[in-house]
Every structure is written in structure tokens, then in C-alpha cells.
Amino acid sequence: MKTIVEGKHSKVVISSETPTVIIGERINPTGKKKLTAALKEKDFDFIIQEAVRQVEAGAHIIDVNVGASGIVEEELLPEVVKRIADAVDVPICIDSSKPVALEAALKVCPGRPLLNSTTGEEKNLETVLPLAKQYNVPVIALANDERGIPKDTETRVAIARKILDRAVHLGIAPEDILIDVLVLPIGADTETGKVTFDTARRVSEELGLRPEVGASNVSHGLPDRKLINTAFFALGAACGMTAYIADPTVVEITQTILAADLLLGKDEWAAEYISFYRKKEALKGSGK
Amino acid sequence: MDIMKQIEENIIAGKFKETEGLVKTALEQGKSPNEIITDALSKGIDEVGRRFKCDEYFLPEVMTCARAMSTALATLKPHFTTEKKTTIGTFLIGTVEGDLHDIGKNIVSMMMEASGFTVYDLGIDVKPEVFIREIREKSPDLVGISALLTMTMPAQRDTIKAIEAAGLRDKVKILVGGAPIDQRWADEIGADGYAEDAVECVEKSKVLLGLGR
């Protein structure tokens, strides 16, 4: 089973057999003062530059989130989405917790963007899933509900199953559902990594859905964070993770994902791995 | 080694399995619960806070230290004649309406409790009216309002406004925190303080209550 995401002229396949997809996370104001300011001032050059940098660094899809206090998302999100879709030819991941903003962006986004996201919360299922159906786009579903983020695998899988049932009931193809299996800071609970990996395995094997995760928080509060992040990406790939919401401009992240794909038989003749190496060396040579 | 020093070092090492035994030994040796708190436990947890602040200690270590501290306080509790003596202040905390994140809030709860505060944790997705109801019921000294998303930051402002409208604003000190929060935002929405992490929350709380440091 595979999920197809499309840009204006580009196509990305998310499946357990194909290389791990990197969804560039940098266009999101949470914790980023400069980007927040750029969004408020409508400094689109700065924002487009962030998109271009990520694509050059290896992002397959660009996540776009403009949610911050003082920003009217339903106005700004479509504008930013449209400009980025014009500037880079990779698919867009439209990211908002507001259904009206998601819909406004869906109306102007070319291709077949990825919708980010619904959760198992009733209010989201009722508003976001119908959008995925109406616009015929794939959707990311977070494995949490009104009770918060479950500490255990069983509850996360149960929520994923509930979302799948609801989506299928609405006529959405299972191919178009990605499950965000969620990861919490490992420093606050050392069991939580295992729960994430077990959930990924079960979502993939039992539900036949594609697990995905955003990972920048896993190493919070610990030293040598990059080491933990990269180990997380490699282990996740081995547990069936098909996509990451991550920062590809951190070169070790992209390298680790490429190496993991190679070791898992997802990169025939190491073509992707070697091509990334050459690109990196060439940049070094050009003094960039 | 002196038993008080042993307890202090036990807290710093976060060896929570051994804490209860040590505290009991101190009580058997005739130390009063207040002495144990002031001369051993507080010193220990202050040192943990200091180490965390200068990156000598990391989150999992702070969690085990806080657990050792909670164990010690629980061991001491039955030995106090009045419950009032065990607490240096009361702290009510919750994650704002619309936000389901609880890890940071839980760590703050743990550290506050470990530092001698009585903590009432209202959980996640807490509506302003619930904050108000609980403030009326528990009369806390401090209220902590947590928000982890840029999207749910405005709910901190709404909560503070609601507390004002209910006529309770001058009854409590309000602290805000969460990944997207900073001092500027705290000032803008009229909070009494901002804490970047659990250790700072303890420090600021003590300052707000005039408990030194």
C-alpha cells in the first residue's frame, strides 16, 4: 500500500518499500522568533528561502505551518502555501490545527498536498476527515485523542484503528492515511521511545497503514541531542517508519536516513546514498 | 558520614530507592522533620537545581532527584503534628484549554512538590472556569498556566483575563510557561512571572512568595 503526494509537477511515494520520505519542518513558527517575525511582516522572501534550503538539503515535501498568536491563519496559510508551491517543485504538507485554514489552503494548493492533521479527537474527525475526502488528499492522523497522548502502545494503536474506521466510512482510501505515532521526550520517560517504535510496527503490520513521526523533541533535556535524534531515525526506519517530519538542513539527519534506507534494502545500488555524498562533496569543493 | 549529609547526597544522587531508609534512620536518631527538610533535603534539591541550570545535570537525573525528594517528604509526612508545616506554599497548575500536552507540566509539578510546595494538578485541556473554580476551592498562593503550542498561547491570556473578571487576580500569583512562551509574552498578558523550566519555576515561586532567593 502506498500514499501518493503530488506537487505541481512532482510526485512523492510514501510506502514501506520505497525510501523514507523527509517532510521539512522548518516553516513552523513554534520556537522560531525570526520566522514568526517574517510571517507577521509577510516577508515572503525569507520564508521561500527556508523552503528552498530544505529542498536543497534533501526534503521531499515541505511542511507549512503559520500558526502563531496574532496571525489569521485562514488568510496567511493559503498565501504562503501558494508562494512556496510556486517557488519549489515539491509537494506541500499543509499544517494547521484550524480546519478553516486547512480548507483555505487546500483551495489554492496545486497537486495533491498532504493534510496535517487530524487526531482521534471527535471535533477533528468531524472537520478534517471530510476535507480530505472532499479534496481527495492524503491526511496525517495523530494517534492521540481527547485524553491526551497515550503513554502505551495499545491505546495509540486503538486510536489509529478508530481513525481508520472513520475515514473508510467516509469513503477515504486507507492508502491516504498516514499515522503519526508520536514521540515524547525520552529524558522525561525512558519507556516512551519503545512505545513509539512498537506503535509504528503495529500500525504498519496490523492496520496496514504507514507510520510517520515528527522527532525533534525526543532528545529534549539531554546532552548530545543530535546523537539521540539520528539514532531515533535509524531505529524508526527499522520499525517501518515511512516518513519523518524533520529538519533536513541538519546534514547528519539526512545522512542517517539515507544510510538506514540503504541498510534496509530501500535504496537500490546505493544510488540515493552515493548521490547525496557527491552533492555534499561538490558543495564542499565550491566553498559553500 | 553524618546522616544529614548522607540524605543531602542521596537527594543529589537521585537514589530514590534508598531515601526512605535514610530518612527513617535520621528520625530514629532524633532529628526533627523540620531539621531534615532544612538541613538536608532543601540543600540537596537546591544543588540539583544549580547543576541543572549550568548543564551539569540533565533532565532524567533531575527526575530521579525529584523522586527521591518526594519519597523523603512522604516518609516525613506522618511525623508532622500539623500538615501546615510540611508545605512552603500551595501551587495550582494546569495546561490551558485546547492543549493536551502534559510532560512539561508534570515535571514542574514534581519539582514543585519536591521543593516543598503542595501541588494541585488540574491536568490538561483546563477551561478558564475550571481554573477559577479550583482557585476558589483550594485558595492557592500560586497558579501555573502551561501552553505548549503557539496556537494555544492566547488561552493563557484568556485564562488570566477570566481570573481577573472573577475578582481573583489579586489573590494569587500567576506563572506561565511552555515551549513557545517567553518573558515578553508573560509581561504582555499580565502574568507575575515566566519560568523556562521546572527549576526556574521553583526559584521564581519562592521569590514571588518572599521566601528568599
- pLDDT, tens digit (0-9, with 9 covering 90-100), for A91-107: 999 999 999 999 999 99
- Do residues A64 and A26 make contact, with C-beta atoms less than 8 angstroms apart? no
Q: B3-84 with B87-208: one CATH topology?
A: no
pLDDT number for residue A139: 98
Is B107 close to A146, i.e. CB distance below 8 A?
Answer: no
**Chain B closest-CA separation from residue A189 CA (Å):** 8
Selected for mutation to probe chain B from A27, A32, A69 (highest B CB count within 10 Å) is A69
> Which cell is B83 given?
500538615
ipTM for the whole complex? 0.78
* Residue A248 burial (CB count, 10 A): 23
Q: Chain A neighbours among B 107-166 (CB < 8 Å)?
A: 107, 124-125, 149-151, 153-154
Q: How confident is the model at residue A33 (pLDDT cuts 50, 70, 90)?
A: confident
E strand spans, B72-139: 89-95, 117-121
Partners of B120 in the β-ladder: B92
Grid-cell match 472537520, residue found = A127
Q: How confident is the model at residue B85 (pLDDT cuts 50, 70, 90)?
A: low
What CATH class is the domain A3-285?
alpha beta
Burial A71-82 (b: 16+ CB within 10 A, else e): bebbebbbebbb
pLDDT number for residue A8: 93
Chain B residues closer than 8 Å to A228 by CB: none
Give one word for A72, left, alpha or beta, with left for phi > 0 and alpha for psi -120 to 50: beta
**Chain A closest-CA separation from residue B85 CA (Å):** 30
Instruction: Tell me the count of A-B CB pairs closer than 8 A.
Output: 57
pLDDT number for residue A208: 96
Taking alpha carbons only, the member of A256, A259, A251, A261 closest to residue A281 is A251
Q: Is the pLDDT reported for residue B83 higher than 60? A: no
Selected for mutation to probe chain A from B58, B150, B152 (highest A CB count within 10 Å) is B150
* Residues found in chain B: 213
Residue type, B99: D
**Cα A134 to Cα A103: distance, rounded to the nearest angstrom:** 10
> Which cell is B41 given?
533535603
Chain A residues closer than 8 Å to B103 by CB: 184-185, 188-189
- Do residues B138 and B153 make contact, with C-beta atoms less than 8 angstroms apart? no
Q: What is the pLDDT of residues B98-149, one digit of tens each?
A: 888 888 899 899 889 888 899 999 999 999 999 999 999 999 999 999 998 8
* C-beta contacts of B184-189 below 8 A and 24+ residues apart: B185/B153, B185/B156, B188/B157, B189/B156, B189/B157, B189/B160
Chain B residues closer than 8 Å to A185 by CB: 59, 103
Taking alpha carbons only, the member of A202, A113, A120 closest to residue A159 is A120
Taking alpha carbons only, the member of A50, A115, A44, A55 closest to residue A88 is A55
Domain extents in chain B: 3-84, 87-208
pLDDT number for residue B82: 57
Q: Is the pLDDT reported for residue A59 higher than 80? A: yes
Q: How confident is the model at residue B212 (pLDDT cuts 50, 70, 90)?
A: low
Is B124 close to A148, i.e. CB distance below 8 A?
Answer: yes
**Chain B closest-CA separation from residue A168 CA (Å):** 26
- Whole-prediction pTM: 0.86
Q: B87-208 — its CATH code? A: 3.40.50.280
- CA distances A210 to A17, A167, A233, A237, B61, Å, are 11, 15, 15, 12, 35
Q: B3-84 — its CATH code? A: 1.10.1240.10
**Is any Cβ of chain B less than 8 angstroms from the Cβ of A31?**
yes
* Residue A223 burial (CB count, 10 A): 11
| Whole-number percent of chain A with pLDDT over 70 | 99
- Quick one: average pLDDT of B190-204? 94
Is B149 close to A30, i.e. CB distance below 8 A?
Answer: yes
**Is any Cβ of chain A less than 8 angstroms from the Cβ of B21?**
no
Cα(first)–Cα(last) distance of chain A, in Å?
A: 40
Burial A124-135 (b: 16+ CB within 10 A, else e): bbebbbebbbeb
**Is any Cβ of chain B less than 8 angstroms from the Cβ of A48?**
no
pLDDT number for residue B102: 87
Is B150 close to A222, i.e. CB distance below 8 A?
Answer: no
Q: Chain B neighbours among A 181-240 (CB < 8 Å)?
A: 184-185, 187-190, 220-223
- Give the dihedral sign, CA B138/B144/B145/B146: negative
pLDDT number for residue A216: 75
Paired sense of beta strands B117-121 and B142-146, if any:
unpaired
Is A69 close to B55, i.e. CB distance below 8 A?
Answer: no
